[in-house]
């Protein structure tokens, strides 16, 4: 999927609030082996590495465009490489993922896999957006079902794989997870207006639609913007963004 790092980074400041909440749950120790699944442009991976003295941090991602940006942050103890979180093997003391697993389907199977990547006594920390019922997201689904977009997309709409917090808590418990901390939070962003929401979703939600829409991409954005302007006429606009965060410790071997 062709990510655009510059578009994605436009709202990095807003996105870092959930990063702060996620690292607040991190058990900071020295000399950890850490993996950031879906590191994107690497900025947050570097901040994570800064918090962990004498640790070896690796960021993996499937996007060549994102990894190219991430290379700017390489230093001793921090590196980046191509890797798919669904197939990666190995074990790390901290398995970290911020704003990524919404791109992966079948979370009831994904969660046991993520937990298997954690060393005994280690920690899994995940933040996943759960904003799929917000009008900014529902409008995209609605539009994708209308012509001429439906034909251009061949009937495709983006999967909605994100589960409830109860489901994640149950999955973590079933894996033997300890010290579970699972919660959902609304991040209260105030944006200039509806057009800023289009800018936001253009860097994330719309990326796979852009890939498939071809020459209809600009028309899709225009119609989407018009509908968002109708729905959110105020300036500034309140964009309450829902996210799920969870942390669990893998039990130590006896
Ligand atoms: C929304 S960005 C988040 C980047 C970063 N974690 C952050 O919070 O700034 C999602 C990233 O997940 C990556 N990604 C999506 N599916 C992936 C997979 N199966 N394995 C690894 N990375 C993946 C994308 O390429 C993209 O860089």
Rounded to 10 degrees, the C-alpha dihedral 253/178/161/103 comes to -60
Structure confidence by residue, pLDDT tens digits, 216-235: 999 999 999 999 999 999 99
What's the pLDDT score for residue 30? 92
Identify which of 70, 90, 103 to mutate to test ligand 1's pocket (most ligand atoms within 8 A of the CB): 103
Distance CA 103, CA 172 (A): 20
What's the pLDDT score for residue 254? 52
Structure confidence by residue, pLDDT tens digits, 90-101: 999 999 999 999
Provide CATH code, domain 5-249: 3.40.50.150
Distance CA 107, CA 101 (A): 8
In the DSSP assignment, the letter for residue 110 is H
Cβ-proximal residues to 42 (8 Å cutoff; 6+ apart), any chain: 59, 66, 67, 69, 70, 71, 72, 73, 80
Structure confidence by residue, pLDDT tens digits, 54-82: 999 999 999 999 999 999 999 999 999 99
Q: What is the pTM of this model?
A: 0.94
**Average pLDDT of the segment spanning 172-186:** 97
Is the pLDDT at 126 greater than 90? The verdict is: yes
* Boundaries of every domain in the chain: 5-249
Note the Cα 32 to chain centre separation in Å.
23
Q: Confirm or reject: Cβ of 9 under 6 Å from ligand 1.
A: no
**Average pLDDT of the segment spanning 125-134:** 96
Confidence of residue 123 (pLDDT cuts 50, 70, 90): very high
Q: Confirm or reject: Cβ of 106 under 6 Å from ligand 1.
A: no
Q: Confirm or reject: Cβ of 67 under 6 Å from ligand 1.
A: no
Q: How far is the CA of 143 from the centre of ligand 1 (A)?
A: 25
Q: What percent of the chain has pLDDT over 90?
A: 92
Residue 226 backbone zone (phi > 0: left; psi -120 to 50: alpha; other: beta): alpha
Q: How far is the CA of 178 from the centre of ligand 1 (A)?
A: 26
Q: What percent of the chain has pLDDT over 70?
A: 99
Confidence of residue 83 (pLDDT cuts 50, 70, 90): very high
Q: Confirm or reject: Cβ of 38 under 6 Å from ligand 1.
A: yes
Q: How far is the CA of 38 from the centre of ligand 1 (A)?
A: 3
Q: Confirm or reject: Cβ of 5 under 6 Å from ligand 1.
A: no
Q: What is the mean pLDDT of the chain?
A: 95
Distance CA 239, CA 236 (A): 9
Identify which of 40, 46, 208 to mutate to test ligand 1's pocket (most ligand atoms within 8 A of the CB): 40
Task: Give the Cβ contact number of residue 189 at 10 Å.
Answer: 19
Confidence of residue 239 (pLDDT cuts 50, 70, 90): very high
Q: Confirm or reject: Cβ of 84 under 6 Å from ligand 1.
A: yes
Q: Is the separation of the CB atoms in 37 and 95 below 8 Å?
A: yes
Q: Confirm or reject: Cβ of 63 under 6 Å from ligand 1.
A: yes
Q: How far is the CA of 253 from the centre of ligand 1 (A)?
A: 31
Q: How far is the CA of 60 from the centre of ligand 1 (A)?
A: 8
| Ligand 1 atom at minimal distance to the Cα of residue 19 | 8
């Amino acid at each position: 999927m062709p990510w655009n790092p510059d578009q994605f980074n436009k709202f990095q400041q807003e996105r870092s609030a959930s990063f702060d909440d996620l690292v607040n749950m991190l058990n900071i120790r020295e000399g950890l082996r850490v993996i950031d699944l879906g590191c994107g442009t690497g900025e947050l991976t570097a901040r994570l590495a800064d918090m962990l003295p004498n640790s070896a941090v690796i960021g993996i991602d499937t996007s060549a465009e994102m990894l190219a940006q991430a290379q700017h942050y390489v230093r001793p103890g921090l590196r980046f490489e191509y890797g798919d979180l669904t197939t990666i093997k190995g074990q790390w003391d901290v398995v970290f993922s911020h704003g990524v697993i919404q791109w992966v389907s079948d979370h009831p199977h994904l969660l046991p896999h993520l937990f298997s990547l954690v060393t005994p006594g280690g920690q899994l920390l995940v933040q996943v957006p759960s904003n799929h019922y917000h009008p900014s997201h529902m409008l995209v689904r609605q539009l994708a079902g209308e012509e001429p977009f439906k034909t251009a997309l061949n009937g495709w709409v983006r999967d909605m794989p994100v589960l409830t917090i109860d489901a994640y808590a149950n999955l973590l418990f079933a894996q033997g997870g300890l010290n579970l901390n699972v919660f959902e939070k609304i991040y209260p962003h105030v944006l200039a207006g509806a057009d800023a929401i289009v800018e936001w979703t253009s860097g994330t939600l719309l990326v796979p639609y852009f890939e498939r829409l071809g020459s209809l991409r600009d028309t899709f954005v225009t119609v989407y913007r018009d509908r968002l302007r109708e729905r959110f006429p105020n300036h500034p606009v309140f964009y309450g963004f829902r996210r799920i965060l969870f942390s669990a410790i893998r039990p130590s071997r006896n």
